[in-house]
Amino acid sequence: MKLQYMHLKEVNDPLIFLEGVKDVGFNEVVEIEMADGSMRHGQVIEIKGDSVGIQVFEGTEGISLENTKTSFKGRSMHVGLSKEVLGRIFSGTGEPIDGLGPLFIDEYRDINGLPLNPVSRVYPRNYINTGISSIDALTTLIRGQKLPIFSGAGMPHDELAMQIVRQARIAEDAGESDKFGVVFAAMGVKNDVADFFKRSLEEAGVLDRVVMYLNLSNDPVIERILTPRTALTTAEYLAYEHDMHILVIMTDITFYSEALREFSSSKGEIPGRKGFPGYLYSDLASLFERAGIVKGKGGSVTQIPILSMPNDDITHPIPDLTGYITEGQIVLSRDLHQKGLYPPIATLPSLSRLMKDGIGSGYTRDDHKALTDQLFSSYSHVQEARSLASVIGEDELSDTDKKYIRFGEFFENNFVNQGPEVNRSIEDTLDLGWALLSLLPREELDRVDSEVLDEFYNSQEAYERFNIKEKSLVRELGQKGE
Amino acid sequence: MQNDTIHSINGPVITVKDTDTFALMEMVYVGEDRLLGEVVSMTREATVIQVYESTSGLKPGEPVTSSGESMSIDLGPGILKNIFDGIGRPLRDIAEATGAFITAGSQGNTIDENKLWPVRIKVSKNDTLKHGDVYATVQETDLIEHRLMVPRGKGGKVVYTADDGDHKARTTMVKLEDRDGFVHELSLIQRWPIKTARPVTKRLDTAKPLVTGQRVIDTLFPITKGGAAAIPGGFGSGKTMTQHQLAKWCDADIIVFVGCGERGNEMTQALEEFSELIDPKSGKPLTDRTVLIANTSNMPVAAREASIYTGVTIAEYYRDMGYHVAMMADSTSRWAEALREISGRLEEMPAEEGFPPYLSSRLSQFYERAGYYETLNHKTGSITIVGAVSPQGADFSEPVTQNTKRFIHAFWALDKQLAYERHYPAVNWNESYSEYVNQLSNWYSENVDEEFLDHRQQIVKLLNEENKLQEIVKLIGSSLLPDDQKLILEISKLIRKGFLQQNAFHDFDSYVTLEKQMKMMDVILYLYHEADKIVDRGIAFRLITQTDIFNKLTKMKYEIPNDDMDMFDDYYDLVDNALSDIK
Ligand SMILES: Nc1ncnc2c1ncn2[C@@H]1O[C@H](COP(=O)(O)OP(=O)(O)OP(=O)(O)O)[C@@H](O)[C@H]1O
Ligand SMILES: [Mg+2]
């Protein structure tokens, strides 16, 4: 039994300092008994000889210098785990909060995890069919990937994440639908967000395969730093001990980072860009790098972190550093959202870095890569045509550019726009893509081999599909003599 | 012997009080688990140490012991084909010993001491050897002969040689007796402090390109063997892909790829892909010439700082054998941030954006280790350094990009907009530059084509004119431009899409010979000049575009394999036929 210490030397929210402490390790967990008998938790974050600085997760309000009993637990922060976590709800530190009593515990794990050896990783290649065209065709999600949603206040990122959970066949393609699970980590979001997820997961009938860790906006800020770590430790446990394919949804990375900023400034550290600590990159990496697949293990950890970009600014340090760590990003567009399109996924800045090895024959379909390249290239020309139109007026555009403008509208309204309940097969998605490209003159499709075009380019069919008579298209385009 | 113990712990930084045991930059062992650390500052009261591993669980009072040397690694056969962490521990051995996840205090020797190597002794008794002389060779991989060189501080007359044949790395191969009668034993292993550049006879001027097979680099912004280049770009713009392309295809003898604070999966991918790829010249897997250093973003920060030095030390070691080495560092920004983080913990005065004032000098010391050299044993060898830079918010005015620019001579600026359009490699032709072009002009004339640089110049000029015209097009559209300007727009589009864009996933577009690069330029410019004549005669430019000739040339990169240059004749004919209908 370790010593209990009765007095504090100093309280400086969220830190407390003790003196005369012996045999305490860096990062060790601390229990603090308040004068009224209630318990708080903390972690050693600084040691100077026999003086120790402790970060208190629940904050230091009400802690007195006398009458506070501090005991050191002899180990770093751990979480108790067993397969029975599935279907349960916990606080950010892993205490059950669903009223279903204590958890039966198989083993304790350090929530900080350990770096996965690159030679022990399996490079992720299996695509996850989400049924959402803009994702499946253009930013394909791969099992074991970390692919965040970059969003903004008021945009439907939660709906999108839930649609992915409902529709994604993460494990089915491996013939193991019972191996699918979701770990959900709420960090600083409002109660209604957590409720939305709870309700939707229930409606989807998967609640018994979900573990939730909730640190809501009114919960202690410092605990927010632990929440994703607890959640990811659980995900790794289920993936690598129980061979499950785990989808981790973490929301919101921005609130998490702000908690880190608050904590850092309370320690008096030198702030970096926008007040965030210089180690924000490393800290976020210690979360995101925990996605992956381990050699010799049956499961996988796929992460979909949700991040609301302050002021919709993608160059803000939080989305910026995240983008440097994750394997791509799905960016939501305020503009498309305001046009009433769902999901409002901004095609051009969105990217899946792992898709290049996970699409094509054997994975999706042979023509997938060519279609993707061409859609990106053609849609980016739409932007040029639009900005030119805004200067000289649409009427003055060249015939080709007018066609791009029309293509852009059709693309946004029919391909990107899909609705929260619609689940498209990959074949439908790819065929739809080709139909849209067929609205453009064939010579414009310069990213695609002629043989592929011979097979997939068919403007007549496209006109029929979108119910445009060629004449009416011509008239709509205001063209003469074609 | 004093009993030195840990006094304070703050993340990766610990202090020892009131001691004079240690020297600045000395490597030390920290705690019961003997974690590796380095002394980063010393005052009379406190010695400050940065620890290369996680300090979780470390306690004050645990011992700190001296190693007597600064941060060093073992060098010898077995480095190639291997993957190490930032301080030179082999990751495969660590995985075998401790499983998939890396625990602090993992042990592992850079050089496997049990493996038998086929050694050939290259000296005889009574030969006199000095620092740098080759005394034995080992066929390290099918591609590379490893040359064992007399380490620094050793030399003398050969008094013993082992027999040719299989030996373990620690076995004595040669004994040298120096003038003072002291006998030095040389095995297959030598040690070197990673922050010290290895000596050479002299620096040479270089006039040879590092041929990369990437058109936008080789043609527009080339780099010399021994040169230094930076690839800055926002996230997802293609830094890593470009560096992987260079690692796969460039004509260096040895590749050192340092993943510094980046993704684990990218290292896994490099491991897989490089071993599947076959070197076209030798028919051997590319891993035979490659060593990977992986300090991923979730590994300890201090080791991130070391990984760059570990990489460049290995590069110098192979250079000293007379090889041309290309080193990729992905990303130097993470390295700079590691400096910043440690500096913050040391409570040093920050300069720009929190980076320490010595950022610039550290970058300079690093890039300075690139170069074309005469080695101590009078061979020539070189180190080319290509460093990725990850600017905050993709804004190139930040300190790491700006300071790096002072020490490199090729700047391959990656552009978010181009990446959004999936124009890869997303090298922006207006912002990028290479100061090596003049140096290389003779080489290109003699080895590729007399007109290579002239063609390059024309291409650059057309792209410049296009850039200016685009400003006008943005305001009034292109339809009102005169025909000669329309031609410039159209030919530049062909250059961008048909020449600069290059598909890393295509069978033969992934790597393109200089000869093909030259021919592609020649056909494009042929079309330009012929079309220009027609436009000059007042014939409507529209008639030319209607022939579809621009489209056909755009796709020639996918039609003509590297080994069938005769096929270009068809393309000159295509141009002639298309235009003769109009004339
Ligand atoms: N030359 C290329 N050919 C084809 N695709 C490319 C090319 N370069 C980049 N890409 C695409 O862009 C994606 C991102 O590239 P990459 O990972 O190299 O970016 P990066 O600049 O290293 O980003 P980060 O700074 O976040 O590491 C790749 O996964 C690939 O899909
Ligand atoms: Mg990269």
DSSP A266-301: HTTPPB-GGG-BTTHHHHHHHHHTT-B-BTT-S-EE
Radius of gyration of chain A from its Cα atoms, rounded to whole angstroms: 26
- CATH code of A396's domain: 1.10.1140
Q: Which of B8, B50, B56 to mutate to test binding with chain A, by most A CBs within 10 Å of its CB? A: B56
Residue A24 placed within a domain: yes
Structure tokens at B476: 């009034």
In a domain, A446, yes or no: yes
Distance CA A345, CA A73 (A): 47
Q: Nearest CA to B423 among B522, B504, B514, B521?
A: B504
Chain A interface disruption, residue of B82, B89, B268, B349, most A CBs within 10 A: B268
Position B461 scores a pLDDT of 97
Could you read off the pLDDT of A51-71 as tens digits, one per residue? 999 989 888 888 888 888 999
Give A377's contacts in chain B (Cβ within 8 Å).
Answer: 421-423
Residues on chain A touching B473 (C-beta within 8 angstroms): 388
Tell me B205's DSSP state: -
The bridge status of strand A149-151 relative to strand A328-331 is parallel
Q: Cβ of A286 and B298 within 8 Å?
A: yes
pLDDT tops 60 at residue A79: yes
Could you report the per-residue pLDDT of B240-265, keeping only the tens digit for each? 999 999 999 999 999 999 999 999 99
Distance (Å) from CA B426 to ligand 1 centroid: 9
Q: Is A317 on the interface with B (CB under 8 A)?
A: yes
Q: What are phi and psi of A56, to 5 degrees?
A: -100, 120
B262 Cα: distance to centroid of ligand 2 (angstroms): 7
Same domain, A155 and A287: yes
| Distance from the B6 Cα atom to the nearest Cα atom in chain A, whole angstroms | 8
Asked if residue B578 has pLDDT above 80, the reply is: yes
Dihedral (CA of A383, A388, A390, A393) sign: negative
Instruction: Tell me which of A51, A119, A283, A451 to substitute to probe the interface with B (most B C-beta atoms closer than 10 Å).
Output: A119
Say which residue the tokens 């976020």 belong to. A284
Show the tokens assigned to A151: 């969003």
Higher-pLDDT residue of B270 and A473 is: B270
The rounded Å distance from CA B245 to ligand 1 centre is 11
Mean pLDDT, range B174-186, rounded to an integer: 94
Q: Nearest Cβ partner of A114 from B103, B395, B554?
A: B103
> Which ligand 1 atom sits closest to the C-alpha of B504?
3
Question: Does residue A363 sit within a domain?
Answer: no
**Same domain for A208 and A342?**
yes
CA atoms lying within 13 Å on the CB side of residue B478:
20
Count: domains in chain A: 3
Let me know whether A50 and A104 are in one domain: no
Same domain, A109 and A94: yes
Are B476 and A392 an interchain contact pair (Cβ–Cβ within 8 Å)? yes
Structural domain for A140, as ranges: 79-357
A-chain residues within 8 Å CB-CB of B57?
Answer: 25-28, 75-76
Whether B226 has a pLDDT exceeding 90, the answer reads yes
Cβ under 8 Å to B: A residues 416-445: 443
> What per-residue confidence (pLDDT) applies to B581?
79
Higher pLDDT, B221 or B281: B221
Q: Identify which of A50, A289, A398 has the shortest CB distance to residue B297.
A: A289
A362 within a domain of the structure (yes/no): no
pTM: 0.94
The answer, for A446 touching chain B at a CB cutoff of 8 Å, is yes
Judged against a pLDDT cut of 70, whether residue A428 lies above it is answered with yes
Q: Chain B contact for A112, CB < 8 A?
A: yes
Clarify whether residues A427 and A336 are in a common domain.
no
Cα A110 to Cα A159: distance, rounded to the nearest angstrom? 32
- Do B297 and A272 count as a contact with CB atoms less than 8 A apart? no
Cβ atoms of B26 and B20 within 8 Å: the answer is no
Instruction: Looking at the structure, tell me whether residues A168 and A281 fall in a common domain.
Output: yes
Nearest ligand 1 atom to alpha carbon A323: 26
A338 falls within a domain: yes
Residue range B149-158, pLDDT digits in tens: 999 999 999 9
Contact A391 B475 (CB under 8 A): yes
Is A102 in the same domain as A248? yes
Kind plus residue range of the DSSP H or E element containing B168: strand B165-168
Of A49, A325, A449, the CB nearest to B60: A49
| Mean per-residue pLDDT, B534-548 | 87
Of A292, A376, A401, the CB nearest to B265: A292
Q: Of A76, A94, A117, which closes a domain?
A: A76
Q: Does A148 touch chain B (CB under 8 A)?
A: no
Contact A392 B555 (CB under 8 A): no
DSSP letter for each residue of B32-80:
TTTEEEEEEEE-SSEEEEEESS--TT--TT-BEEEEEEESEEEESTT-T
Q: For position A260, which CATH number holds?
A: 3.40.50.12240
Q: Do B271 and A118 touch (CB under 8 A)?
A: yes
What pLDDT does A175 receive?
60
pLDDT of residue B190: 96
- A340 touches A333 (CB < 8 A): no
Q: Is the pLDDT of residue A47 over 80?
A: yes
Residues A69 and A89 in one domain: no
Contact list in B for residue A398 (CB cut-off 8 A) is: 477-479
Residue A482 has pLDDT above 60, yes or no: no
Cα B559 from Cα B576, distance rounded (Å): 19
Which of B215, B217, B241 most suits a substitution to test ligand 1, by most atoms within 8 Å of the C-beta? B241
The residue from A334, A357, A380 where one domain ends is A357
Decide: B37 and B46 in contact? Cβ < 8 Å.
no
Is the domain of A13 the same as that of A116? no
**Given an 8 Å threshold on Cβ–Cβ distance, is A117 in contact with B475?**
no
Using an 8 Å CB-CB cutoff, list chain B residues near A150.
none
Which residues make Cβ contacts (< 8 Å) with residue A412, sequence separation at least 6?
A336, A339, A341
Residue B1: pLDDT over 60: no
Q: DSSP state, A44?
A: E
CA angle, corner A460, sides to A455 and A466, nearest 5? Answer: 110
By three-state DSSP, how is residue B293 classified?
A: strand
Q: Does B479 score more than 90 pLDDT?
A: no
**Could you read off the pLDDT of B95-140 as tens digits, one per residue?**
999 899 998 888 889 999 999 999 999 999 999 999 999 999 999 9
Dist CA B254 CA B408 (whole Å): 21
The predicted pLDDT at position A479 comes to: 45
For residue B143, pLDDT beyond 80: yes
Looking from the CA of B422 toward its CB, the CA atoms found within 13 Å total 26
How confident is the model over B8-38, as pLDDT tens digits?
Answer: 998 889 999 988 889 988 999 999 989 999 9
**How close, in Å, is residue B210 to chain A by CA atoms?**
28
How open is the CA angle A235-A237-A238, to the nearest 5 degrees? 65
Q: How far away, in angstroms, is A253 Cα from ligand 2 center?
A: 21
Q: Which pLDDT tens digit goes with each residue over B429-477?
A: 999 999 999 999 999 999 999 999 999 999 999 999 999 999 998 888 8
- Among A185-194, B201-210, B289-298, B342-351, the least confident range: B342-351
Q: How close, in Å, is residue B9 to chain A by CA atoms? A: 5
Residue A363's pLDDT is what? 86
Q: Does residue A315 sit at the B interface (CB-CB below 8 Å)?
A: yes
Contacts of B83 in chain A (CB under 8 A): 118-119
Predicted confidence at residue A476, as pLDDT, reads 53
Q: How far out from the chain centre does Cα A366 lie?
A: 28
CA distance A193 to A199: 10
CB contact under 8 A, A116 and B420: no
pLDDT for A469 equals: 65
Per-chain mean pLDDT for chain B: 93
Q: Check whether residue A72 and residue A85 sit in a common domain.
A: no
Structure tokens of B543? 């008639």
Looking at this protein, which amino acid is placed at residue B511? Y
Which of 411-450 (B) contact A at CB < 8 A?
420-423
| Residues B77-97 pLDDT 10s | 999 999 999 999 999 999 999
Local confidence band at B65 (pLDDT 50, 70, 90 cut-offs): very high
A199 interfacial to chain B (CB closer than 8 Å): no
Quote the CA–CA distance of B231 and B385 in Å, as a whole number: 11
pLDDT single digits (tens) B369-426: 999 999 999 999 999 999 999 999 899 999 999 999 999 999 999 999 999 999 999 9
Q: Which class for B565: exposed (0-12), middle (13-18), buried (19 or more C-beta within 10 A)? A: middle
What confidence score (pLDDT) does residue A44 get?
93
The CATH number that applies at residue A9 is 2.40.10.170
pLDDT tens, residue by residue, A122-134: 999 988 899 999 9
DSSP string computed for A60-117: -TT--SSS-EEEEEEEE-EEEE-GGGTT-EEETTS-B-SSS-PPP-SEEEETT--PBP
Q: How many helices (H) and strands (E) does chain B have?
A: 17, 26
In a domain, residue A453? The reply is yes
Same domain, A102 and A192: yes
Q: How far is the CA of B363 from the centre of ligand 2 (A)?
A: 19
User: Across the interface, do B9 and A46 touch by the CB < 8 Å criterion?
Assistant: yes
- How confident is the model at residue A226, as a pLDDT? 93
Which strand (E) or helix (H) includes residue B521? helix B514-536
> What angle (nearest 5°) sits at the alpha carbon of residue B375, between those of residues B71 and B366?
40
Q: What is the pLDDT of residue A101?
A: 92
Instruction: Say which of B102, B392, B420 has its CB closest to residue A117.
Output: B102
- Tell the residue nearest (CA) to atom 16 of ligand 1: B238
> Which one of B6, B235, B415 makes the best mutation probe of the A interface by having the most chain A beta carbons within 10 Å?
B235
Within 6 Å (CB) of ligand 1, which residues are found?
A: A 324, 353, 356; B 233, 235-241, 262, 390, 424-425, 504
Q: Are A225 and A256 in contact (CB under 8 A)?
A: yes
Categorize the per-residue pLDDT at A173 as very low, low, confident or very high, splitting at 50, 70 and 90. Answer: low
Does A195 reside within a domain? Answer: yes
Chain CA centroid to CA B494, Å:
31
Residue A435 lies in a domain: yes
**Among candidates B7, B94, B477 on the partner chain, residue whose Cβ is nearest the Cβ of A396:** B477
d(CA A383, CA A376): 11
d(CA A40, CA A60): 9
Which among A76, A107, A133 is the end of a domain?
Answer: A76
Q: What CA–CA distance (Å, rounded) separates A38 from A33?
A: 6
Q: Is the pLDDT of residue A472 over 70?
A: no
Looking at residue B344, its pLDDT comes to: 83
Number of H helices, E strands in chain A: 14, 19
State the DSSP code for B513.
-
* Percent of chain B surpassing pLDDT 90: 78
CA of B258 to the centre of ligand 2 (A): 12
Does A115 contact chain B (CB < 8 Å)? yes
Question: Which chain A residues are closer than 8 Å to B353 by Cβ?
Answer: 272-273
pLDDT > 90: what percent of chain A?
Answer: 65
pLDDT score, position B374: 96
Q: Are residues A159 and A44 in the same domain?
A: no
Contacts of range A332-341, beta carbons closer than 8 Å, 24 or more positions apart: A332/A149, A332/A150, A332/A151, A332/A152, A332/A155, A332/A156, A332/A157, A332/A160, A334/A152, A334/A155, A336/A412, A336/A416, A337/A154, A337/A155, A337/A156, A339/A412, A341/A412, A341/A413, A341/A416, A341/A417
Alpha carbon nearest to ligand 1 atom 15, residue: B238
Distance B241 CA to ligand 1 centre (A): 5
